[in-house]
Structure 1
Amino acid sequence: MFYAGKSGVKAITIPAEQLGSRQIEGLSEFGMDITTKNKNEVNEFLISQRKLLQTDLAYQTIGWSQLNNQTVFAMDKVIVPMIVGSSNVMLDSTQYQLVPQGVHYQLNDKNCPIHNDLSNNVNLKLGLVLGLSAALVPIINRFKPDIGMLIFALKGQSTSGKTTTAQLAASVAGPISGDGSLFNSWMNTQNAVTIKLNNNFGIPLVYDELSVYRGTNITSLLYNISQGLEKARANKNGEIRPQKRWQTVVISTGEQSIIEKSSQNDGILARTLEFEVDH
């Protein structure tokens, strides 16, 4: 709704729950002529006008998801034949910025870097495969329920190219710099890492330089990530909140072995694949 304020025309959003309730009288502070006698008529008018508005469908789950009973793959845009009943579909998330950047090529373009720069570089080929594999994890999980997450660790010295490999892996789905990018630092707590994973079903996520990880228990971190389920938490009423989930690929880089820093039990070895990256 638009109204004229002291500094000019302003816009406010009227929540749906405010219509059809006593709260609608609160709109009088913005200059609307709402009284006890006419509030029902005003309310009916606003509801009738809402039906004429263009519908925007927002989504927060990235990767494979369900929208309007259709299976879609959601990035900065939704890949789907048609979303029925909606003229606009948009990502509603502050965690991810997935708008593509840089130069775009078709795979059959002879100038595409995949056919040139990557053709003789094993590390960059590895990065491309790891990044694209994220979209396959939720599909594999349908047939192999015990495979819900893949953790890839890239180990190498500071000039080995492990970070470049990881950047390429993340870049297949979105930017690797700036707010909401897919390339992150390990300088986070375990909770911060898993919160970033929430509602991710097929978009690769990178955490760079294991040595700066703020947590103390790598084993607990790896188990938490591989479970694909956030820790149970209670709401203010003492009830268990719905737990967020994820199914994707996490790529870690570091000069140290992530497996050697863990307990190295069978559970960790089954959940983590480590690659030695060198020139």
Structure 2
Amino acid sequence: MGSPSMTFTYKNTEGNTLGHILRFDLPSGEKTIRPLTLWDVNGTIQWKMKGFPVPHPLYNLDQLAARPDDPVLVVEGEKSADAARGLFPNYVVTTAMHGAKSVDKADLSPLLGREVLIWPDNDEAGHGYASKIGQTLLEQDSLANVRVLKQLAYLPELGEDGQLKPQTEALPQGFDAADAVQMGWTAELLAFIPPDELSEVVTSEKDQLNEYRSGNFVINDTGVFAIKQKNGDEVLVRICSRLDIVALSRDSNNANWGLLTKFKDHDGHLHEKAIPKELLSGTGEAYRQVLLNSGLDIDMKQKDSLTMYFMEAQPESRVLCVNTIGWHNNVFVLPSKTFGQNDQRVILQTPDIDRTSSFGIRGELAEWQQFIGMKCIGNSRLILAVCIALTGPFLKVLSVENGGFHFRGQSSSGKTKALSVAASIWGGKGMVRSWRTTGNAIESLAVEHNDTVLCLDELGQVLPSEAGDIAYTLGNGQSKSRANRFGHAKPTGKWRLLFISTGEIGLGDHMAANGGQVRAGQEIRLLDIPSDASSGMGIFENIHQADTAQQFADSLQTMVETYHGTVGAALLDRTR
């Protein structure tokens, strides 16, 4: 066979060589694959053309061990794996040895607990390969985060509109990552593809079964039914639309137990809600309101049966719950998604589950960049606001203290638009809050925006006597100590964040209006910045071909309400 045309080395987690996969190109144009492994022959270690012991190790096992927090891309074949590294630099790329033929012989355990994206070859064997890996992972962990890459629907070329050109022809049979590189795809071009067009979730085949029984209840596609007795026979009484209880949740101290649920609303959108078990006591009205508000259909005559369904549930899977967003060890938790890797899934679970989160995603990252990010160019205050909003996740690692930035200037100068642009990093218009609040309420807001940004509009709406205390509290990063009904100290709320404020006057002038005086600690925690950029257009210096500053401001407001949340998610994807 001559010399191999390609050699792929398999290593263990410490980086020591386990063996090689050799590719030989035959004169006939065909290829053949041969394993080369180490064997003990009468006490002598020798290389032999023999297969690896079962279970087979994954390719790049040393990189999987060295980068435990990074997501994993699984392709088919070592050649594709080497090519895909440049297309997905934030992923550890691996493959099962011998591809589709030997998935059942591969040790997939290093993939458990990690975010996995599978890129199948464009053929029947490739799709079978992806399905086998996905189902194997879901069988071992029903909450595994597994997605499969869709076939590329675009060309690796940008049109005049700055977007990718559509793919008008079917991709060839067997198309893989190596072919994509040869075609001209790069990591930068792949970033233009919207996430929902790039990949889709792999669901367990067991979840696709129409019906199963859980205690005294039957669950199928038409709903959850209580099994009751009537005249000696079992009858099914519908209590709600389909609601699957998929995991038990608890915190790191094995307290605050809850139930993780999944269900679809009337439009078919999938919802995932963590229900604290403490809400099952009493009337249960609080948890039912949340489920109803999210689109679950409940027969209120059977509300007690619904509570009993929750109480009897004993799912095998476990998840770790936290009660605040932000960093928790090596994962970052937002209301709808957790970023990073942990030995078990981490979710947000709070008793006030009826509170509507202001965090959310609308549109695509490229749209935010085009319609909002580009408009920040040449506008120093907008750029500063965006930078402040992006800083929150880095405060922990940088050990930087909390603080605030106050844009001070006349009414209608565009100050609130700077807040809206900053807020669009993480969510919609609900991210912009008012100064008109109490000290207790501001502590709750700070906890809700931990490790991100808090945007407070119009300082003048808060009493001068409270303004200084609020600024000091936000900068201090901790709520006041309070007693519970037994006289014991309640746990204090804590937060890390930078906050952005607006107002026609500064903190010192506002407090002085009521005879107050700014303490040094208060003034340091809220830096005063003139909102007027001295260009005759209020806070703006560049209105990007708009007719007036007001027109530019109105357009900007429309854009931040249309496109938001994608920048924060993209940032966390790259910092985990």
TM-score between both structures, scaled by the size of structure 1:
0.71
Task: Show CA shifts across 1:124-153 (max 9, x none).
Answer: 112111211222222222xxxxx4311111
Closer, same or farther in 2 for the Cα pair 1:96/1:4, shift >3 Å?
Answer: same
Closer, same or farther in 2 for the Cα pair 1:158/1:97, shift >3 Å?
Answer: same
Q: Please name the residue that 1:125 is paired with.
A: 383
The whole-number CA distance in structure 2 between the counterparts of 1:215 and 1:266 is 16
Q: Please name the residue that 2:441 is paired with.
A: 192
> Matches of residues 140-151 of structure 1 in structure 2 within 5 Å?
140-141=398-399, 147-151=400-404
Query: Per the alignment, in what secondary structure is the counterpart of residue 376 of structure 2?
Result: coil
- The answer to whether the aligner puts 1:165 opposite 2:425 as a matched pair is no
Query: Per the alignment, in what secondary structure is the counterpart of residue 252 of structure 1?
Result: strand
Q: How many residues align?
A: 234
> Matches of residues 1-279 of structure 1 in structure 2 within 5 Å?
2-3=225-226, 9-10=238-239, 30=305, 50-52=314-316, 54-66=317-329, 71-75=330-334, 76-80=336-340, 82-86=341-345, 89=347, 92=350, 94=355, 96-105=357-366, 111=370, 113-114=372-373, 116-141=374-399, 147-177=400-430, 182-198=431-447, 200-214=449-463, 216-262=465-511, 263-278=517-532, 279=538
- Give the letter aligned to residue 337 of structure 2: K
Task: Show CA shifts across 1:156-191 (max 9, x none).
Answer: 1112111000111121112223xxxx2111121121
- Contact kept? 1:60, 1:199, Cα under 8 Å: no
Gaps of 5+ in 1: 17-22, 24-28, 32-42, 142-146
Shift of 1:50: 1.8
Q: Which has the higher contact order (CA 8 A, sep 6+)?
A: 1
Shift of 1:233: 0.5
Specify which structure has the higher proportion of strand.
2
The whole-number CA distance in structure 1 between the counterparts of 2:436 and 2:467 is 13
Closer, same or farther in 2 for the Cα pair 1:236/1:215, shift >3 Å?
Answer: farther
Shift of 1:276: 0.8
With 214-223 and 88-97 compared, the bigger mean Cα shift is at: 88-97
- Give the letter aligned to residue 59 of structure 1: V
Shift of 1:97: 2.9
CA RMSD of aligned residues (A): 3.4
Gaps of 5+ in 2: 1-216, 218-224, 229-236, 249-256, 259-280, 282-303, 512-516, 533-537, 539-576
- Contact kept? 1:201, 1:248, Cα under 8 Å: yes
The whole-number CA distance in structure 1 between the counterparts of 2:437 and 2:505 is 17
Query: Per the alignment, in what secondary structure is the counterpart of residue 96 of structure 1?
Result: coil
- Contact kept? 1:163, 1:253, Cα under 8 Å: yes
- Give the letter aligned to residue 264 of structure 1: V
- Give the letter aligned to residue 273 of structure 1: L
- Contact kept? 1:95, 1:196, Cα under 8 Å: no
Higher alpha-carbon Rg: 2
The whole-number CA distance in structure 1 between the counterparts of 2:460 and 2:480 is 24
The whole-number CA distance in structure 2 between the counterparts of 1:215 and 1:237 is 34
Q: Please name the residue that 2:124 is paired with.
A: none
The whole-number CA distance in structure 2 between the counterparts of 1:112 and 1:170 is 15
- Give the letter aligned to residue 119 of structure 1: I
Query: Per the alignment, in what secondary structure is the counterpart of residue 375 of structure 2?
Result: coil
- Contact kept? 2:324, 2:348, Cα under 8 Å: no
Query: Per the alignment, in what secondary structure is the counterpart of residue 510 of structure 2?
Result: coil
Shift of 1:228: 0.8
Shift of 1:62: 1.3
Shift of 1:241: 0.8
- Contact kept? 2:507, 2:523, Cα under 8 Å: no
Query: Per the alignment, in what secondary structure is the counterpart of residue 105 of structure 1?
Result: helix
The whole-number CA distance in structure 1 between the counterparts of 2:367 and 2:406 is 29
With 217-226 and 55-64 compared, the bigger mean Cα shift is at: 55-64
Shift of 1:230: 0.6
Closer, same or farther in 2 for the Cα pair 1:199/1:184, shift >3 Å?
Answer: closer
